[in-house]
């Protein structure tokens, strides 16, 4: 497959790179796949150096990402909820987990957006719209990642947070649709099953997502969670009923649906052949995260995923109209992407944000 044909499907990928500097493998991958986006992880920021030093290295990395992808509309993304879900070193402010700053969601959102833009980042994988339904949930409840335990609290805080980021040119992503708050396991490690029925889901889990759709959230991330009473066979990421019927038709979402990392163990086996990506695209997914730096002997690589998409399209396994409508949604998203040039912030800005953080009980 040549780089031109890879790029046609590569725009559907958000991929990770190996470290704070690109190696030769990274460069070849970016140039051949030309991904629509990059997922920055902790490994991409030097954690044990002064601000001036790690910032200079990171600034060079951002420039290289644009150079080697050849994209001016590149999505540069990061998980930045606060608390234990934060990749950036000091002096970037950690305001604590969302459950702590729920009453200050707008103010925290404004501060986070300013700091993220200063790093050249233009999409934050937030706000979390999951409800703290199960406090023992190892990946949501125990980490304090939910804004609260009622749909109304989560909807209000998530909407305020979303609006604050969007006003400063940081795209948002409501996650994890249709809800990860009631699971007993971590989808990074296995496929969680939730026995919630559709009536309960619509009256509880979907309320924050409906609020974000009405607020104009540009992207929504799927949950690698199985709801057998709603779709007997498929996890949400592969479910036409959950994505196309519930999210798009009933909630009215016209933005971009992004599958959480396809190398997470909850769904990794589904994506080891063209069948998985075919089913996901047919269900209504537009883009896929391949964030971990893949082990070519074990994990799905970005190139393999592109090849699977090409094979499915060539064989007519994916409806042409489905792909065309998906491409239009992605192009609208890319048109809204802002390129933020990395710029060091003044100490006074961090002092102001630290003062705000001091009023919040860190969880």
Q: Which residues are catalytic?
A: 188, 260
- Give exposure, 10-38, as e/b (b: 16+ Cβ within 10 Å): bbbbbbbbeebebeeebeebbebbbbbbb
Query: 322 with 30: CB under 8 angstroms?
Result: no
Distance of alpha carbon 5 from alpha carbon 306, whole angstroms: 9
Distance of alpha carbon 204 from alpha carbon 186, whole angstroms: 21
Which residue's entry shows tokens 């980042």?
A: 121
Three-state SS for 156? helix
- Give exposure, 182-200, as e/b (b: 16+ Cβ within 10 Å): bbeebbeeebbebebebee
Distance of alpha carbon 210 from alpha carbon 202, whole angstroms: 10
Q: In what order do the strands lie in the sheet with 287-290?
A: 123-124, 75-78, 37-40, 13-15, 287-290, 256-259, 219-222, 173-177
Three-state SS for 75? strand
């Amino acid at each position: 497959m040549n780089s031109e044909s890879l790029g046609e499907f590569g725009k559907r990928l958000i991929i990770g790179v190996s470290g704070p500097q690109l190696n030769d493998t990274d460069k070849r991958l970016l140039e051949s796949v030309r991904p629509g986006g990059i997922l920055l992880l902790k490994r991409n920021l030097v954690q044990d150096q002064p601000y001036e030093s790690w910032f200079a290295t990171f600034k060079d990395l951002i420039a290289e990402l644009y150079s080697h992808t050849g994209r001016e509309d590149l999505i540069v993304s990061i998980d930045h909820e606060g608390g234990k879900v934060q990749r950036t070193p000091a002096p970037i402010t950690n305001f604590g987990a969302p459950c702590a700053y729920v009453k200050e969601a707008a103010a925290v959102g404004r501060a986070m957006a300013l700091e993220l833009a200063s790093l050249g980042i233009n999409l934050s994988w937030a706000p979390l719209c999951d409800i703290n339904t199960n406090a023992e949930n190892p990946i949501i409840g125990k980490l304090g990642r939910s804004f609260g335990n009622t749909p109304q609290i989560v909807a209000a805080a998530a909407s305020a947070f979303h609006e604050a980021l969007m006003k400063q040119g940081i795209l948002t992503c409501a996650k994890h649709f249709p809800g990860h708050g009631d699971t007993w396991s971590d989808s990074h490690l296995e496929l969680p099953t939730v026995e919630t029925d559709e009536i309960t889901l619509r009256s509880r889990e979907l309320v924050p997502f409906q609020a974000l759709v009405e607020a104009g959230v540009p992207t929504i991330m799927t949950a690698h969670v199985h709801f057998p009473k709603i779709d007997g066979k498929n996890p949400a990421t592969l479910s036409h009923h959950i994505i196309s019927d519930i999210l798009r038709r009933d909630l009215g979402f016209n933005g971009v649906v992004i599958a959480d990392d396809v190398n997470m163990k909850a769904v990794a086996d589904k994506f080891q052949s063209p069948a998985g990506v075919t089913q996901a695209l047919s269900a209504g997914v537009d883009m896929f995260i391949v964030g971990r730096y893949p082990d070519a002997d074990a994990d799905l690589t970005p190139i393999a995923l592109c090849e699977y998409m090409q094979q499915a399209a060539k064989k007519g396994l994916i409806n042409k109209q489905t792909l065309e409508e998906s491409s239009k949604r992605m192009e609208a998203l890319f048109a809204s992407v802002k390129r933020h040039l990395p710029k060091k912030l003044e100490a006074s800005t961090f002092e102001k944000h630290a003062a705000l953080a001091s009023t919040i009980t860190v969880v």
